[in-house]
A and B are shown apart, each in its own frame.
Chain A
Amino acid sequence: MTDSRKIVRVTQVTKSFKLGKLDVMALKGVDLEIAAGNYISIMGPSGSGKSTLFNMIGGLDKPTTGKVFIDEVDIAQLDAYELAWLRCRKIGYIFQTFNIIQVMTALENVTLPMTFAGMADDAAAEKGIKLLQMVGLGDRFQHKPFELSGGQQQRVAIARALANDPAIILADEPTGNLDLNTGEEIIYLLKQLSRERGVTIISATHDIKMLNVSDQVVWIRDGRIDKIENREELSISIGQINTIPGLGSLSEA
């Protein structure tokens, strides 16, 4: 696998919603290429189209015009079975609200995607325990979600996202419901995973802490890509970002 392989390619994507009689353009033509193995942050104020773009990349929503390719497969061409397969094997999801299935233990949450993928129970349990150990919950795999703290639940979610060795992990505001320290721990865990396992991590976020670990930051504004910054450029402008929270340099067209 070369670093230059494009795991996600978005070309000329627009998305419009009907709000009553009004047509609202959430995305107004977005082009984006994401290289495999990178840690990408999508940043932007709420209402910028950030979540729409994010859902599109995750195969959760289809564009009005334009194309989204995941691993060079046009997701608009996929039927329901293939989409389910894509979600099961290629993409791991991490949510702001953790979304641990309440009726199941930590281990059962982690093994559920493996069951969907057709793995035998024993093998799935073994792998699930390994994954939980990796995220630092080796001794808590029999716990129910309500017995775990927010940070621990997010760790379970990360282990679950890794269940079928996906190529991409999509994290929607993964630190949004966590306190500062726990959020930082989760960010570094994600970074470590992307480095060690070569997983592409794409996260939509408001969290400035994310910038430190990102290989690339995509700024979205008003349905368009405002700018894409690589890591090197980022360290220079980071002081500036801190002074204007949530937005980069506004003057840039």
Chain B
Amino acid sequence: MGKHSIFHSDTPESDKIDRLVVLPFMKSVDIAVKSIRVRFFRSLITTVSLVLAVSFLSFTQVGSDMANGLLSTGDPALRQALIRSGYDLQPVDMRVENSPKQRWIIVLSLLVCVVGIVNAQLMAVTERFREIGTMKCLGALDRFILRLFLLEAGIQGLIGSSAGAVIGGAFAMVNFLLRFGTESLTTLSWTQAGLSVAGATLVGCMLSLIGVMYPAIVAARMQPVEAMRVEQ
């Protein structure tokens, strides 16, 4: 019995009908965007933790870039000012690196953020059990559901983390401007700062996708019979 012959039907045209169930990519994007818009407030809450974590990351990275810019002038007064403002500089150091403590705090904040995303997305999946079950009754495959959730998280991640990265970067600049004056902006390597912001955005997107992975798999494996259940 051939895989595609089992639905042999009595009409001759039926052989021409595509036996695959499909969901075009643009249609999935469309549905994902609609889902976010309709559940805007919930999406916002999921995104806020990401915005905060990413802006913290961006703040420290851009801060380091600006400190490096100031150091590269070789001005001993600026060097003293940096040390006074908390940068741990040995006499031989020509660059500012993140201290282990700083790195630890960054990793911790990102970790907390991922846990928050997993939590929020699991809630979202539970809320949408009926919708997912209905889609499956209409013929959706597991991977359609997986793709919808990943797309939603990707869009949320991109918007949230770019907002966070820009906010964090801007905050770092304002901070340096107030402490060290305009010199901190003129000596700053803008490519370096741009790279830091882009890097933070990328990290944020990855976190958002990692966070949604488990909830999305739970959603995709759901049985369509759940849609029939009356309680809710």
Contact = CB atoms under 8 A, between A and B. Distances in A.
A115 interface: yes
Interface residues of A, number: 37
B27 A103 contact: no
B36 to A, nearest CB: 9
Q: Which of B24, B135, B138, B224 has the most CB of A within 10 A?
A: B138
A115 B21 CA distance: 9
Interface residues of B, number: 40
Contact of A101 (B19, B135, B225, B228): B135
A210 interface: no
A84 B227 contact: no
A115 B227 contact: no
Q: Which of A79, A116, A118, A160 has the most CB of B within 10 A?
A: A116
Contact of A87 (B37, B138, B230): B138
Interface stretch (B52-60, B139-147, B159-167, B208-216): B139-147
Contacts of B23: 115-116
A202 interface: no
B217 to A, nearest CB: 15
Contact of B22 (A78, A95, A118): A118
A117 B10 CA distance: 19
B224 A60 contact: yes
A235 interface: no
A194 interface: no
Nearest to B134: A99
Interface of B: 1, 3, 6-7, 9-10, 18-24, 27, 31, 34-35, 37-39, 130-131, 133-142, 144, 223-225, 227-228, 230, 232
